[in-house]
Structure 1
Amino acid sequence: MSYRLIVGLGNPGSEYKQTRHNIGFQVLDNFASKQGASAWSKNRNLKGDLSVFVPELDAKIYLLKPLTFMNESGVSIQKVCSYYRIPPEEVVVVYDEINLGLGEVKVSTSGGPGGHNGLSDIASRIKPTFTRFRIGIGQKTPKEMSLADYVLGKFSKEDEILISAFMERYLDCLDRLIREGADKAMIHINRKPKTKDREDGQL
């Protein structure tokens, strides 16, 4: 099975840049740049920013950043899937995960939203058979802080440095997923990085 749509979740607007909830946007921006994808184009009908690239000897893959705000991410995804006739099984969604430590990545092809409103909305609008590419942002601290305040908060300077170090790992894992498919890629991706991995961001 090949993938035709890669989605990064986040909220539009400069005030949300560098927030934990926008790690999906951040990774997709870097992935588009690394792949030499087309410039981002705002599509008002499909309610998202779109880009496209063509892997070697393969069909084109669309990249999407929904502009419907996180809680209605599924609106844009549903429209894009319908317009380009892309089944849910050929969709990858990249998003933040509080139950994974910073720098960790996990891929799955099933599972509940785990309290993530963006995932809840997507699953309500298309079949929940899309592939989940979860990027760890760590547990909220202090525990008394509301989940909304935590995910909409910005990364600390120290965490930003770590995110930059881990970015190459995120991009390599996403590229591996696209090239190898979920079953094979998960063997390599779904492991915690070793100490050295955490320092230099490499697989």
Structure 2
Amino acid sequence: MLLFVGLGNPTPNSENNRHNVGFKIIDSINKKFGLTKQKPKFKGLLTTGNIESKKVYAIKPLTFMNNSGICIRELIEYFKIEPENVIVFHDDLDVEFGKIKAKFGGSSAGHNGISSIDKFIGKDYSRVRIGIGKPKGPIEVSDYVLQNFDDEEILGVEKISKNITESLSILVEKKLDLFSSTVNNK
């Protein structure tokens, strides 16, 4: 079993925030692979299905970014999913806009959603870091991540979502380096 987690904030006015790119990836996965209708469960919106003959759960935590770990812990304990079978999609300031970097474990690098997951399940899970770039000009990071993508960036997010879903079979096999290079070279 695998668990895909998309990080974001659940309010309607957050839908197109940079911080919500993880939610957008889960929506793309749900659509592309015909996962079940989203149901509120485990403090998140949960879908299930099969990808590459593996049972997959996908969730968008409704606990807000800084408490994402609460939702994830409840779900993995209930379904007995090992942390190494969790793959988290999240925004990353230190990655160029539109690029991704997949890795296993490591530090949170100051990302509060990742810090929360680390606190509740440890650090032994995979992360797909989706580049949102750094703010230009004098703006606080906390304000920048809560800003909406502009029209051009929305097109970029749609492209990266498509590239991720088209290459998901590689990620399901946990070939993180190959997944990163495949997605970034499309």
TM-score (norm 1): 0.86
The equivalent of 1:35 in structure 2 is 33
- Name the amino acid aligned to 2:76: C
Q: Deviations over 1:18-62 (max 9, x none)?
A: 10000000011011100010000012xx10110001124x34210
Unmatched 5+ stretches in structure 2: none
Structure-2 residue corresponding to 1:200: none
Structure 2 residue aligned with 1:47: 43
| Residue 77 of structure 2 is aligned to residue 85 of structure 1 | no
What are the residue-to-residue correspondences of 1:62-141 with 2, within 5 Å? Answer: 62-141=57-136
Structure 2 counterpart of 1:186: 177
Shift of 1:190: 4.2
CA distance in 2, matches of 1:165, 1:59: 25
2:19 aligned with 1:21: yes
Contact preservation (8 Å) 1:105, 1:170: no
TM-score by length of 2: 0.94
Query: Aligned partners of 2:95 and 2:182: how far apart in 1?
Result: 11
How far did residue 152 of structure 1 move?
0.5
C-alpha RMSD of matched pairs (Å): 1.6
Structure 1 gap segments, 5+ residues each = 198-202
TM-fit CA distance, 1:91: 0.3
What does 1:168-179 correspond to in 2, within 5 Å?
A: 168-178=162-172
Q: What SS does structure 2 have at the residue aligned with 1:134?
A: strand
Q: 2:180, 2:51 → 1: CA distance?
A: 20
Residues matched between the structures, number: 186
- Describe the SS at the equivalent of 2:89: strand
Query: Could you say which structure has the larger radius of gyration?
Result: 1
Deviations 1:107-132 (A, max 9, x none): 10021011100000100110210101
